[in-house]
A and B are shown apart, each in its own frame.
Chain A
Amino acid sequence: MAQATKTIDARGSFCPGPLMELIKATRAAEVGDVLEVLSNDAGSAKDIPEWAKKMGHTVLYVEEAEGYWKIAIKKER
């Protein structure tokens, strides 16, 4: 599994909070960085990969942990 450059803990935040946090982090990141979001919002687990695909970033994993999801993307551009 790719090592995350940065992990964003957005647990407790509802849609689109985790996505917004990820977008802010993606803007500040370098191309090639791996950004991981922790979210306990089921909607975000579906929505974040959709956003990443639309924006041309690679979704590395969407994993369910205990009561939350871990989603990682690689910034491609």
Chain B
Amino acid sequence: MTKNAQKLSIVLASEELEKVHAASLIASVAAMSGMEVHLFVTMNGLVPFLKSTQAEGRFRTGVVGEALRAKAQPFTELIANGKELGTLKVYACALAMDVMNWSKADLIDVFDDVIGVSAFFNIAAGGAIVTM
């Protein structure tokens, strides 16, 4: 990432809570620091964002994830704070949603849109992209 990058896009493709938390934390702090941030959630990355997963509280975690759950802010709060205090947009991957037969209503209320890769590239153009 270049020092002056003002646009950051994050691709989250994992349901591991540590990666979900890291992506949410980086996204929210970047947004609060004045960057334009786009979080594209794809594949199993969508699982922790399902209302059913949130209701059951069943996340895939390792030791750090367990400690995060006990002590840190939930990743959903990090995203909400980033949205409130900066420019942070969250997208769900259209392909994963289609193959799983999920709709936006199955996801918690942080998603701005369900989009495909071409739309994501248009949104991310000119900025840095990191994959988690």
Q: A20-B81, A24-B85 are in contact. Are A14 and B33 (CB under 8 A)?
A: no
Q: Are A20 and B85 in contact (CB under 8 A)?
A: yes
23 A-B residue pairings within 8 Å (CB atoms): A13-B73, A14-B71, A14-B72, A14-B73, A15-B25, A15-B72, A16-B25, A16-B28, A16-B78, A19-B29, A19-B32, A20-B28, A20-B32, A20-B85, A23-B32, A23-B85, A27-B85, A47-B29, A51-B29, A51-B33, A54-B33, A54-B34, A55-B34
Q: What residues of chain A lie closer than 8 Å to B29, measured between beta carbons?
A: 16, 19, 47, 51
Which residues of chain B have a CB within 8 Å of any CB of chain A? 25, 28-29, 32-34, 71-73, 78, 81, 85
Say whether B33 contacts A55, CB under 8 Å. Answer: yes
Instruction: For A15, list chain B residues within 8 Å (CB).
Output: 25, 72
B77 to chain A, nearest CB (A): 9
- In the bound complex, CA of A14 to CA of B70 (Å): 11
Apart from the given pairs A27-B85, A47-B29, 15 other A-B contacts in the complex at a CB distance below 8 Å:
A14-B71, A14-B73, A15-B25, A16-B25, A16-B78, A17-B73, A19-B32, A20-B81, A24-B85, A51-B29, A51-B32, A51-B33, A54-B33, A54-B34, A55-B34
